[in-house]
Structure 1
């Protein structure tokens, strides 16, 4: 999709929206969350920060706004890699994984609405909130509700589905406003409207003006999203219908067996015949591959693949795999060593003794520290999800709740991790402003962390 011109989508959407606050919420809140659904590790910031720069935002705010706006989509983004890592290392499967997905999605749905609120406040204070509240109260619940529904069915596409719901909501709002404007003879947008073409053509920071090569993309923005559309169209019917969901989850499983192991300190792992079975037809990778093939065929048919260097695309993919897969695999292996050697249990005993019943309020902070240090919520979950589950048993809290808190906190820490901030700063040519970006993001991220802590305490009191 990137090779076919996805980087032009932001410009297309911006030209479609006369309201300044609608464009802001699109590029700092809705669209980066959609991108996060399939491509993580700072990609949403790298895509959206330059677009905000082209709309006239200064370099610091162009990075800070999407950092705050997209954070809620990280756990179920990248096809659910962070979520599945948390579930795997915590030893969840079946109903436990479903409970974890619901708990995490519920807390993140609240964070999604708060993130949109903070974006408006950061941009223009209470005036920004007055101008953007309509889209906020429409798109926020739509994205949050979609996140919860999709996460309970197919965690891998939850953020993608939620971002899609936001895009559809915004499109519907724009069409209604255009219809009303035709009937009344008044331009849509009122005092918040501005000439988006002028803003895109130039900016005080010297942003690039749109070029004629964008015309083809702008004429067919939906076509560029074809792989994501195929992903939703194929995955949702399969997993939302119970018989088909049961079928794909029970066929062609990879389920390794492990013999008994024991340490010199007496920690024993009993033999397992089928360890966390992976159904090939029910795995996100199968549907990603299918969506890639169908999307590529579509691009070829409509001419969007003309002039694209396929070998270069393949090399870029292999480079991304070489950079991310070894780290992910080794962190997963490290987490399993910590669990199977009894180290996590020893740490959990000490933490439970020290923190006692106050620990649930600290669990999101642990997740945030992990992702801040590693620059990845997946890495944070690999390191700490099993620990959170172990501590939960010692402080009489459901383990799914604390692992959900871990994932939610990891989202917040991920958004101010130095490596992610650097990606955004590089995208807008502001490497000398990294400190300013981090300082501007600290307060809103602290608010989001407090929201996560509040979500844990409220859910814990209700269970």
Structure 2
């Protein structure tokens, strides 16, 4: 057995924190300033974290290596599996020419890129997050936007920013459920509290998406659509999270918003059209160009072109039904990681008593969302008329194209697991917990940090949920608020998580340009987490009536 040590350097939490944060600082510097490729920055950061875990935290070498391998394996499955199959499905529609019809069908509803971002990145992305999570919405929506003529960097960046409001209730509410399990608090109360924080962000995110794309002047032109999108989503998110629980807010909010916004766009159009490929005041030339690109297709042709994504949506919903998931899990295999499983002891105050850290790799090959997407891809081959030989070739081509993003994901998930099993993550959390009465302001930062490290709001809640509760009790704050803030703050860290960056670059042809995307999203991530910090601080001391 090996006990985690959270304060290894001369009894000083701040020196220990400096040691623990060094790999993160290097990773930020490598991407933001050195513009290092993602997989290279990830591997160097892993080496640095490994050395600190062994030399500073006295973690046995074998345990540190195996924690990296274990995390890397989780990065490849289920996360890498989702990326490969989702990009594969998208490539099927491109190779068969069906994506041209998809593009035309969206353009017929609106050829304005601002409104397409609201429909696809915000609404459809939130629906996919609610059903599946784990990178699925970013892969699919970023690829769709790139195919619609968005600049690749903006397609990826906008989808990452859009994937903030729904993350806390993603994958049928798993992050909230895990937060309740870890902290011992009622998940329904946590759902209510998150539902009194995130709607304030949900109102703002659609505006911010458009503002990032085109600035204030052109944002004003579509303010009616922005109000409809943000207002509808926020209201449904609040009502469902406060009266139904954590399972359905994303699915209900996204579907209702998508329907209302689609109807609204049939009766309202902006005076001018904004597109990245031909930013207008429209000339006759661009009118002709757009008309030529927007051929009229029959309803049958449009449904056939969309059939891979409709099939994908149906299967993801089916896979998320508890009874179906339980049935599919009969063929799930689990392996305890040797040397690591239950040999690392988590210690107080991270937990209430010394607790063995589990290390079990789950291979749910049939229940995994990636498998549902692969099945959708297989049947899509028949629907769109693709030969099996071409289908296989396209799958192999997808694997080759994604080799570097998969390497990046392997390394950054391995890095996250070194941080977790060595106790370095806990050191960072304890340092933030030392902020006393200001802790409500920093509680969301803890969630933000957890999601940056792990790429998952669920993992962040599992890592820091109990610490949030303990610290809140120590300073006399309702722990429901701080545990909820961990999840609400975590959503703003999703867009800069190395895992998310790798997913987004893979789906938009930006492999090797992870640093550009990181530089694009980091300022928005910091800005949005500060909003959540301010909301939490106000709720802790001024707006206490908002706490359930």
Higher relative contact order structure (alpha carbons within 8 Å, sequence separation ≥ 6): 2
Q: 1:222, CA displacement in angstroms?
A: 8.8
Alpha-carbon contact 2:233-2:257 (below 8 Å) kept: yes
Alpha-carbon contact 1:385-1:403 (below 8 Å) kept: yes
Q: Where does structure 1 lack aligned partners over 5 or more consecutive residues?
A: 178-187, 203-208, 237-262, 270-287, 312-322
In 2, distance between residues paired with 1:415 and 1:200? 35
Distance verdict in 2 for CA 1:200–1:224, change over 3 Å: farther
Distance verdict in 2 for CA 1:446–1:395, change over 3 Å: same
How many residue pairs align between the two structures? Answer: 390
Name the structure 2 match of 1:180. Answer: none
Q: State whether structure 2 residue 260 is matched by structure 1 residue 155.
A: no
Q: State whether structure 2 residue 161 is matched by structure 1 residue 68.
A: yes
Q: 1:37, CA displacement in angstroms?
A: 1.4
In 2, distance between residues paired with 1:453 and 1:47? 30
2:303 is matched with which residue: 193, 218, 228?
Answer: 218
- TM-score, scaled relative to structure 1: 0.67
The more displaced of 111-120 and 25-34 is 25-34
Runs of 4+ in 1 over 4 A off after TM superposition: 1-10, 193-202, 212-217, 219-233, 302-309, 346-352
Q: State whether structure 2 residue 130 is matched by structure 1 residue 37.
A: yes
Name the structure 1 match of 2:114. Answer: 21
Secondary structure of the corresponding residue to residue 37 of structure 1: helix
Alpha-carbon contact 2:197-2:535 (below 8 Å) kept: yes
Distance verdict in 2 for CA 1:308–1:388, change over 3 Å: farther
1:170 is matched with which residue: 256, 261, 264?
Answer: 261
Pairing 1:322-337 to 2, within 5 Å after superposition = none
Q: State whether structure 2 residue 209 is matched by structure 1 residue 119.
A: yes
Name the structure 2 match of 1:181. Answer: none
Alpha-carbon contact 2:176-2:187 (below 8 Å) kept: no
Instruction: Please provide the CA RMSD for this pair.
Output: 5.0
2:512 is matched with which residue: 428, 432, 441?
Answer: 432
Distance verdict in 2 for CA 1:83–1:216, change over 3 Å: farther
In 2, distance between residues paired with 1:4 and 1:350? 44
Name the structure 2 match of 1:385. Answer: 465
Distance verdict in 2 for CA 1:224–1:304, change over 3 Å: farther
In 1, distance between residues paired with 2:387 and 2:298? 12
The more displaced of 41-50 and 193-202 is 193-202
Q: 1:29, CA displacement in angstroms?
A: 2.0
Pairing 1:188-203 to 2, within 5 Å after superposition = 188-192=269-273
Distance verdict in 2 for CA 1:355–1:84, change over 3 Å: same
Q: State whether structure 2 residue 211 is matched by structure 1 residue 79.
A: no
Q: 1:396, CA displacement in angstroms?
A: 1.0
Secondary structure of the corresponding residue to residue 168 of structure 2: coil
Q: State whether structure 2 residue 145 is matched by structure 1 residue 52.
A: yes
Q: State whether structure 2 residue 223 is matched by structure 1 residue 133.
A: yes
In 2, distance between residues paired with 1:121 and 1:71? 16
Q: Where does structure 2 lack aligned partners over 5 or more consecutive residues?
A: 1-84, 94-98, 275-281, 322-345, 354-367, 393-408
Pairing 1:51-450 to 2, within 5 Å after superposition = 51-92=144-185, 96-152=186-242, 153-177=244-268, 188-192=269-273, 216=301, 218=303, 225=310, 354-450=434-530
Q: Deviations over 1:141-168 (max 9, x none)?
A: 1111111222231412221211112211
Secondary structure of the corresponding residue to residue 247 of structure 2: helix
The more displaced of 213-222 and 407-416 is 213-222
- TM-score, scaled relative to structure 2: 0.58
Q: Deviations over 1:109-157 (max 9, x none)?
A: 1112221111111111012311221111111111111112222314122
In 2, distance between residues paired with 1:126 and 1:230? 40
Q: 1:394, CA displacement in angstroms?
A: 0.8
Q: 1:221, CA displacement in angstroms?
A: 5.2
In 1, distance between residues paired with 2:121 and 2:288? 19
Distance verdict in 2 for CA 1:423–1:307, change over 3 Å: same
Alpha-carbon contact 2:205-2:230 (below 8 Å) kept: no
Alpha-carbon contact 1:18-1:196 (below 8 Å) kept: no
In 2, distance between residues paired with 1:196 and 1:219? 28
